[in-house]
Amino acid sequence: MPALTLDQPWMWLITIAAALLAGFIRGFTGFGGPAIMTLILVQLYQPITVLPKVILIDAVSNLKLLPNTWREVDWPVTGVVVVSSLLGAPLGLYLLDTLDPLVAKRSIALVAAGSTAIVLLGWRLSRRPSLWAYAAVGLLTGIAMGATYIALMLVAFLLATPARPQTTRAITVYWACALGVALCIGHFLTGSLSLSDIWRSALVGIVYLLAAVLGSACFRRASERSFRQAVLWLLMILSGLALVG
């Protein structure tokens, strides 16, 4: 598989097209954008060259999403899942760096498909989980995020709780921002992210941000039912992409 270097016009076109779709979904749901981009691009390029760029592109959208969601954040839950995920992320980064590209690609597909299946089964919790439960899910998701940058494991758990969709979305946005910064630093220190990657990814990130703004505006007009329907359709799409991969 070739590396995603963003130094050819067709690489730019493919990445920008993926960013438009992923950015809108990220803005509307608060998650899913990185998973969409990752599952599209790893069909064509080495995962180790895709994930650092997707992380940077997604980070740009937080410039808009963070101020719009801070009033809805459940800070104790967010703090627990952020800290526990940061503890698990280094193991995920190690796995990504050492796994064969084909194995890494299939691992990404497996994480997406498994999380999708949980949501499609309609599993719901009758009451709010303990902070220990959030910590355990955060740790596992941190490992998965480091290796795949797919947050659907945590998202599936949050959607199963009685929390309002606005709160679920806000937790996911702030958690993804914190993990994104940490993972960018990790990739830079391990050499899988260069200075040229940063500015090229930032340019694609502007397109992603504009699409995220549009998605965020649509979310404000959506009901809880339409929000959950959108999430289910998103996860169905991710599952289909995973099976194709």
Whole-angstrom Cα distance, residue 102 to residue 207?
29
Q: What is the mean pLDDT of residues 204-233?
A: 77
Is pLDDT above 90 for 122? no
pLDDT-derived band at 96 (thresholds 50, 70, 90) equals confident
pLDDT-derived band at 63 (thresholds 50, 70, 90) equals confident
152-160 helix and 224-244 helix, angle to the nearest 10 degrees: 150
> Residue 92 — φ and ψ, nearest 5°?
-65, -40
pTM for the full model?
A: 0.81
Q: Read off the tokens for 17.
A: 């097209």
CB 213: neighbour CB atoms within 10 A?
18
> Which of 77-91, 119-133, 190-204, 228-242 is predicted most confidently?
77-91
